[in-house]
Chain A
Amino acid sequence: MTKILNVVIMKNSMQKNKDIFNQVINQCLIFGIFISALGFLTDFDNTIKFAGNDLRTRVVGARLLINQFDPYFFKWNEDISDVYLDPGDSPYSPVSRVTVTPTVLIIHSIAAKLPYKLQRVLWFIIQWVLFLMTLLLFSKSTISNSKSKLIWIIGLFFISGSFFWRLHVERGQIYILYVFLITLSYWLLQKEFKHSVIFSGILIGLTVSLYPLVILMFIPMIVYKKWKLLLANIIGLQSGLSISIILTDIGLWRKYISSLYIHSKMYLGIIDYYGFYSKFDAEGMKNFFIWNFLPSFDASLQKVIKKLTGINLSLNFILTFSALFLVFIILFLYFSRHKNISMNKLFLIGITIVYVIEFLLPMERLSYNDVIWIIPLSLIISNCDLRKLLLRPSTVLLVIGLIFSTSFHLLPYSGLICHYSILFYTALTTLLVIRSRFYL
């Protein structure tokens, strides 16, 4: 009798807890939508007010590509039309500011002939659509209603309300496209139709051709022998590369690689450059040098070490360290591998490797890169036992990271605290996942 009574009481208590839990989630979601709407208005305002210096670089790069100029080493002068002018570029640096792959330039070339102002508005809309689509796909990837809402809350409240998303949209950045493609790939994998793995893999491969660092997602696939997915990846990558080579030529990729090498040297201060084309307007726009003073932090390990200790790491040292770290990751994965690993786990491991290595490269890792958070955080929410996970001490890192993404921008190192908290949280959680804990 007592047992039955206890069960009844427990069920009753569970029901009450469930009601309150749902209520909290719903109200947070409403607040998330409110924040997101305000963020959207702010971004729209910024789009009109500011020129989007990073979008300009890609647009100019695409136009140069269409007209068979070299987008990576091009230098504008007054005899050339201002449609090719990137006012943020330095006339004295050996390379232009274009650092994206030829594949990205080909995508951009679809709209490159339009007036820049129109492209700016279009790109603003595309960024927001991709962002919302990403959240939609992740929320559809879980059968749990509350987890789905939690993904929306993280996205709308903490990411669309964050300083790095403001920066991403204002600068006209492209990272959200890579995030969306990886999300789409993950969503396809969940669909389990006949060729879902192939389509999913092709999309990852395509993303690699746009953002080469995503190639690191292949590592867990190789370690866990997911040959079908890997093959699809290679097909996707090959397609992306082929399109760019057919439409341009192989020499462009060589130029891309050599320009990246020069960019690394410029970043490390080995090559000096200074000045901008600041006195020139482009396409009737005078706002290229009106900066929106959004907080932006370079969180690359090289920069952080330099800032904190004054030590300037050499290019060779950084590359060697990154390579050794990668070997360590591969060995760790190899020796802790299980017979059966779910695709979800594979995705989380893959994206975490990409995320971690981003910090180790001898390149700027600016705040807008953090839009990548959506992927590991959504994967963790979708696939982990949150009750167990949230009770772990590492949750403190998550809380700190999320708080600092939206708050306390005037405090010293707030950006670094934000970037590294989430990095460590993701890395730690992925380690736990590799060791098969917390995964449903």
Chain B
Amino acid sequence: MKINEFKIHKLTLNKILIFSIIIATLGFITDFKNTFKYGGMDLRNRVIGARLLIDGADPYYHKWDETMSERFLDPHDCPLAPVNRVTVPPTVLTLHSIIASLHYKIQRIIWFIFQWVLFLLSLVLFSKSTKLKYKSKLIWIIGLFFISGSYYWRLHVEKGQIYILYVFLITLSFWLSQQNFKTSSFLSGFFIGLTASLRPPVIFMSIPLFIYKKWKLLLGNIIGLMMGLSSSFILGNISVWKKYSSAMQIWGKIHLGIISRRHDGFSQISAEGLDNLTILADIPLHDSSLQYVFKTFLGISLSSNLLIIFLGFSILFFSIFMYNSRNKHVSIGNVFLIGITLVFLCEFFIPAARLSYNDIIWLIPLSLIIINYDLIKLLLNPVSVLLLLSIIFSTSFHLITCHWLISDYAMLLFTISIVLLFLRDTNIFQNNSMIYTDDIKNKPVIATIITIKEIINNMNDQNIECSNYEK
């Protein structure tokens, strides 16, 4: 029995896709309700940060008091903490300032629509980046079923988070890199740079660009980064960046428990006519940063410096692997995959909370893996068990202890393993060959699941009774 990619296409992808659309629709309705019911605590602090920046105030150390306008009140902030809750760089605040003068309720709705549009656009761009129809469908299924149905996407939309913007920009950058017009590579790099100015860890995507000598992309990257950083000077100046940097150091200490942040909150909890700003949806929220996990499960307090050193070593390790394969043909898709894996890895090392909504980044490595690799070969590899564990625990078994830990770290390990396996042997998951069922024996679950349909069909053809089959 031969199994190739064409056979996978014959599986019930369409039916799963329909089911995924139903799940996504239900998810959209839930998010719509949540937007009206809850205040969006993380959107609120960015909106206030942007308003403060517009008014020339310090967005990172500002503390509201009753003499000030309610427009600057973040009821979730702690009046006694040295910093407020704004943790995004001035570039993000500059971007937010476009709509910051609108009423918060309108911004909340705009941001809800914005998040879903960016999410769907990311899926459109990834699905358009492959010529194979079944891969395109698979990307939609991963997106609609496993990501839009996941608790972390619910959390992302309810909190009014911004990670989907970074995901979209990187996706756009990848899509541009696949186009053939003259400045496509430059523009692709430009968007990576722009994203890095919004989300600093994205800067690590430059490492593979450098090692694999993608000079046009790298140039675009530098210009994008410069442009992004320059834009922040429209409203602020260099001192805002200094304050951002010092505020982040304080946040590092808060995360470690060196500085306590009492959750006293402000006595006034309503602002701009809204009294739902402090109401939070009952959605699981977990911190999967290495610092938190070590402290919680092992009682070990990892200092920020130690984490940075570990991160440095990890990046060095990856760089050595990349350097060794620098002369082999590495497609731009793989360069993106390596880059995003470094960013993904870095997120866990940052001495700050890595909360569940960060998992929206999964969309990028998963889509790139689907696009770049022969899925049968990939699924036959034992590491696919990690993928299975991760996606199951991201949508299911939320009432089971530590489901988030399994889900997050399984995905991290899966992505790292795939990248390392690729760097060791660039042909390992290449799209080409046929695979026979004999190869599937003693291989992971996922591979055999693929063959279930095959078995049922075969059983049907041969008209074998189940009882005989058992004998």
Residues on A facing B (Cβ under 8 Å): 10, 13-14, 16-21, 23-24, 27-28, 31, 35, 38-39, 41-42, 45, 144-146, 161, 163, 166, 293-294, 385-387, 390-391, 400, 403, 406-414, 440
Contacts and interface: CB of A to CB of B under 8 A. Distances in A.
Interface string B458-469: 111010111101
A440 B460 CA distance: 17
Contact of A293 (B30, B282, B440): B282
Contact of B459 (A17, A24, A31, A166): A17
A42 B400 contact: yes
B444 interface: yes
Interface in B381-423: 395-403
Contacts of B462: 10, 13-14
B39 interface: no
Contacts of A409: 398-399
Nearest to B25: A411
26 contacts: A16-B1, A18-B469, A20-B440, A27-B448, A38-B400, A39-B400, A146-B470, A161-B396, A166-B400, A385-B466, A390-B456, A391-B460, A400-B19, A406-B396, A408-B395, A409-B399, A410-B154, A410-B283, A411-B26, A411-B27, A411-B149, A412-B26, A412-B29, A412-B30, A412-B33, A413-B26
B451 interface: yes
B402 A20 contact: no
Contact of B441 (A23, A41, A144, A400): A23
Nearest to A143: B470
Contacts of A385: 465-466
Nearest to B26: A411
Q: Which bucket holds chain B's interface residue count? A: 35 or more
Contacts of A440: 466-467
A410 B438 CA distance: 41
B453 to A, nearest CB: 11
A386 B456 contact: no
A147 to B, nearest CB: 8
Contacts of B445: 24, 27-28, 31
B429 interface: no
B455 interface: yes
Q: Which of A17, A19, A146, A386 has the most CB of B within 10 A?
A: A17
Given A161-B396, A407-B395, A38 B440 contact: no
B23 A408 contact: yes
A407 B26 CA distance: 13
Contacts of A406: 396-397
Nearest to A408: B149
B400 A35 contact: yes
B455 A20 contact: yes
Contacts of B459: 17, 387
B12 to A, nearest CB: 11
Nearest to A163: B399
A214 B438 CA distance: 50
> Nearest 8 pairs between A and B by C-beta?
A407-B396, A27-B445, A411-B26, A406-B396, A24-B448, A42-B401, A166-B399, A38-B400
Given A387-B465, A387-B466, A411-B27, 14 more contacts: A14-B464, A20-B441, A24-B448, A24-B452, A27-B445, A28-B445, A39-B400, A145-B470, A161-B397, A166-B400, A293-B282, A391-B460, A408-B149, A408-B395
Contacts of A146: 470
A17 B396 contact: no
Interface string B437-451: 110111011001101
Given A385-B466, A411-B27, A19 B402 contact: no
B168 interface: no
A411 B441 contact: no
A381 to B, nearest CB: 11
B151 interface: yes
A411 B30 contact: yes
B448 A14 contact: no
B458 to A, nearest CB: 6
Contact of B469 (A14, A45, A161, A407): A14
A389 to B, nearest CB: 10
Contacts of B403: 38
Contacts of A19: 441
A200 to B, nearest CB: 25
Contacts of B448: 20, 23-24, 27
Interface string B11-49: 000000001000100110110010000000000000000
B469 A13 contact: no
B449 to A, nearest CB: 6
Contact of B437 (A16, A38, A387): A16
Q: Which of A24, A45, A293, A407 has the largest count of B CB atoms less than 10 A from its CB? A: A407
Contacts of B442: 23
Contacts of A27: 444-445, 448
A168 to B, nearest CB: 12
A411 B31 CA distance: 9
Interface string B148-162: 010100100000000
A391 B398 contact: no
Contacts of A38: 397, 400-403
Q: Select the residue from A20, A24, A45, A166 with max chain B CB neighbours within 10 A.
A: A20
B32 to A, nearest CB: 10
Nearest to A161: B397
**Among A408, A410, A412, residue most surrounded by chain B Cβ atoms (within 10 Å):** A410
B33 A20 contact: no
A412 B29 CA distance: 8
A293 B399 CA distance: 10
B27, B399, B460 interface centre (most CB from chain A within 10 Å): B399
A400 B15 CA distance: 12
Contacts of A42: 399-401
Contacts of A14: 462, 464, 469
Interface string B264-297: 0000000000000000001100000000000000
Contacts of A24: 445, 448-449, 451-452
A208 to B, nearest CB: 32
Q: Identify which of A14, A28, A31, A411 gathers the most chain B CB atoms within 10 Å of its CB.
A: A411
A13 B441 contact: no
